Structure 1
Amino acid sequence: MIKDIIENEDYKDLVSKQVKEVMDFLLLNDKEFSITGNFDAITFEPELPDVIKTQLPKYPLFILSNYTYSTIALNEEYITFEAGFGNENFGSIVKVPLQSVFQVILDESILFLNPVATVEKFNKNRKSNSMNVFKNNPNNKKFN
């Protein structure tokens, strides 16, 4: 089953290496690009204000160009960059684990797609919350 593959640690490591190699290639060739990533795994320093954070989708798009492109740092586990958010252009350093990079996009075309970014570990909070809502319904007590 696909779930057995995309949740396998060896496969996650393989995909992380592939994501890094693709981004290394683009950086080496001085190509600006974009990424989408699983929001649940992304961290911001400083933390984004709630008014901005709640506006971001599950897989936000980050356009890595101009100043943001010049701030990219890439290692074996993460890509980091500085970006501005909201009308105030609130500055934050974005840290995205490589295995949570869902897409690498070049010229509005998907260059790389990573199914590992959709694994359950990033969705635990959402899943447990919906399960609690389900269990709290008196009609569902028989499923406990």
Structure 2
Amino acid sequence: MISNIIEQDSYKELINSQIKDIIDYLLENNEEFAITANIEAMEFTPELPKNIKSQLSKFSLYILANYTYTTIEINDKNIMSFEAGFGSENFGSKVQLPLHSIFQIIIDDAILYLNPLATVDKFNSNPKEKSLNVFKNNPKNKNLIN
């Protein structure tokens, strides 16, 4: 069964390595590209306004070109970041996402890389939201919320 493979941490590390190598290659060759990524694993700083975030689909397209392209970084924890503008008002935010949450890497409307791991909920939930939900679900904490 495929879930026996794609839900393993060792497979996640393999995917992280492949995506990092591909993005490094594209950056070394000054090739702009786009990604679709699972927003459930992303962090936005500052947080996107609700009216903008609510318009994003679970797998949203990000075109990494021009200024956004120049801000791409990948840290040693396999987290990619870039700065982007969102919505009609071009709201600026720094996006951070684990490499394994990238579903597609796209060049010129062609898919260069496809990653099924981006669809695995086990790896793509935002740890801050998960922690907050655990906190909220504890009845002893009800008096601390609102």
Q: Counterpart of 1:86 in structure 2: which amino acid?
A: G
Give the 3-state SS of the residue equivalent to 1:99 in structure 2: helix
In structure 2, the partner of 1:8 is: 8
Which runs of 5 or more residues in structure 2 are unaligned?
130-146
1:53 alignment partner in structure 2: 53
Counterparts of 1:97 and 1:35, CA distance in 2: 13
Counterpart of 2:92 in structure 1 is 91
What CA deviation, in whole Å up to 9, does each residue of 1:94-130 have, x standing for no partner? 00100101111011110001111111223699xxxxx
Give distance in 2, aligned partners of 1:5 and 1:94: 28
Is the deviation greater in 15-24 or in 75-84?
Answer: 75-84
Letter in 1 for 2:100: Q
Q: Counterpart of 1:88 in 2: which secondary structure?
A: coil
1:1-144 alignment to 2 at 5 Å? 1-76=1-76, 77-121=78-122, 122=124
CA distance in 2, matches of 1:49, 1:4: 38
* RMSD (CA atoms): 1.5
> 1:38, 1:98 → 2: CA distance?
10
1:21 partner letter: D
Code of the residue aligned with 1:74 in structure 2: it is: I
SS of residue paired to 1:110: strand
Distance 1:84 1:96 in 2: 16
Question: How many correspondences in the alignment?
Answer: 125
TM-score, with structure 2 as normaliser: 0.82
Show CA shifts across 1:32-90 (max 9, x none): 00011111001100000000000000100000000100111112411100000011100
Amino acid at match of 1:75: N
TM-score when normalising by structure 1: 0.83
Sequence identity, in percent? 54
Runs of 4+ in structure 1 off by over 6 angstroms are none
Deviation at 1:28, TM superposition (A): 0.3
Between structure 1 and structure 2, the one with the greater Rg is 1
